[in-house]
Each structure stands twice: as C-alpha cells, then as structure tokens.
Amino acid sequence: MASTSSNRLVTIEEIVPIALQFPCIAVTGPERSGTTITTEMICWSTGYANVPEETWDNDFDALWRTLRERSRIAIHAPHLTFRVHEIDRHCPERVLVVFVLRAVEAIVASQRKAHWGSLSGHCPDDGDPRGWGNPASRWYDRTSHELFQDDIDPEAHLCLNRQRCWHRRQKQHVRNFVEVEYESLRIHPLWLDPEQRGK
C-alpha cells in the first residue's frame, strides 16, 4: 500500500476515499481540537464503527491490539498524540492516522469551557495545562516526555507542545497520515454551529 503521508491538508470529504483503503482509522490531536466530531464524521461517511476513547482508556497495549485485530473501525484517540510515532511499529500498514489541527487559542478556550484542566488531572486548580502536563495525572505520559523533552516548552500550553512535537518529531515516523483543519469540517452534514451544540 502506498504511503499517504504528505505535507498538505485534506478536507473531510477528501479523507473518505483514503480512509476506505485502510482497515482502521485513528483520529488524534490534542483534546478539544475536534477529534470527537471528526471521528463521528468519518464513521458517518464510511460506515466504519466508532470506537470511543474509553474502549482503550489510556492503555496503549489495548489500543495496539484493537488496531491489529479489528477492521472497519475509526477509533477516537486524542491521547495517541503522545505515542503516535510508534503506530507503524505496532500496527504496520493497517492504520490511517488523521491528525486534527486547530488554533491553540480555540483549543484552550474549549478546554476552559469544558473544565478539561481539572477533569484530566493536569490542572487540579482548573487552570490551563502547560508543558507536558501534570506528572500526577493518570493521563501524563512519561515515556514521550523523556523522548521529546528538548522540544517541550514548560511555559507553553500542553496542546501547543503536542502540536509542535507532531510537526517536529513524530509525523515523519508515521507512514500513513493526513491532517485536517477543524474549521474545514464545516462542510460536513454533521457540523453544528456553536449555538446549536449542547456544550
């Protein structure tokens, strides 16, 4: 199977024919970047089963196993941003990675609205997670922190550091990926404007 990796962004419509070439789709990007709706849109357009994040619950062995053993699935995996560079080692030629890009300011605003800092354990005071997050959080990933520490700005937002590591250190190790901008999702029938959403 030919590599789909490139530096160009794709639209949600362009993802569909690419996605259908793969048994599995892994949708990732920082939390609150639009990974949930992107996964739903891909499933709606392809007929793939939607596998929620809770299915693997921060257990990478469970994630790799699911991606090796199941087919016609799109798995919601924002936490995969920490280890996405490992995907071809564990699941060669089976997975298309869809990385959702969104402006850092918009991600931070969404995280604040959803109280993601406290819910994730990265900021018990409900502040903005910075650096690589809180080592006391169950969602903290020590392995990737050690690997990428030279690229992590301890004062920058966690979501910015994760985007930065994707561009600088990770995507060159992912054979099959596409990137989609959050704002480009507006063309899909499942898109709802903010005033129409429940949260």
CATH label of the domain that carries residue 178: 3.40.50
C-alpha 187: how far from chain center:
20
Question: How many other C-beta atoms can be found within 10 angstroms of the C-beta atom of residue 11?
Answer: 14
Mean pLDDT over residues 148-153, rounded? 96
Structural domain includes residue 3 = no
Q: What is the pLDDT of residue 146?
A: 96
pLDDT bin (cut points 50, 70, 90) of residue 194 is: confident
Query: pLDDT: is 2 or 102 the higher one?
Result: 102
Range of the domain at 130: 12-190
| 9 vs 49: CA distance, rounded Å | 24
Number of domains in the chain: 1
pLDDT band at 199 (very low <50, low <70, confident <90, very high): low
Domain membership of residue 61 (yes or no) is: yes
Q: What is the pLDDT of residue 124?
A: 84
- Residues 6+ away with beta carbon under 8 Å from 5: 171, 174, 175, 176, 177
The reported pLDDT for the residue numbered 2 is 47
The packing angle between helices 12-19 and 35-46, to 10°, is 60
> Stretch 31-58: mean pLDDT, rounded?
96
Give the residue-averaged pLDDT of 8-18: 93
4 in any annotated domain:
no
| 140 CB neighbour count, 10 Å cutoff | 18
pLDDT over threshold 70, residue 46 = yes
* Average pLDDT value for the chain: 93
Would 1 be classed as within a structural domain? no
Lowest mean pLDDT across 58-72, 124-138, 143-157: 124-138
In a domain, 195, yes or no: no
User: Band of the pLDDT at 192, cuts 50, 70, 90?
Assistant: confident
Stated pTM of the model: 0.94
Asked which of 33-37, 125-129, 158-162 is least confident by mean pLDDT, the reply is 125-129
173, part of any domain: yes
Flag whether pLDDT at 51 surpasses 70.
Answer: yes
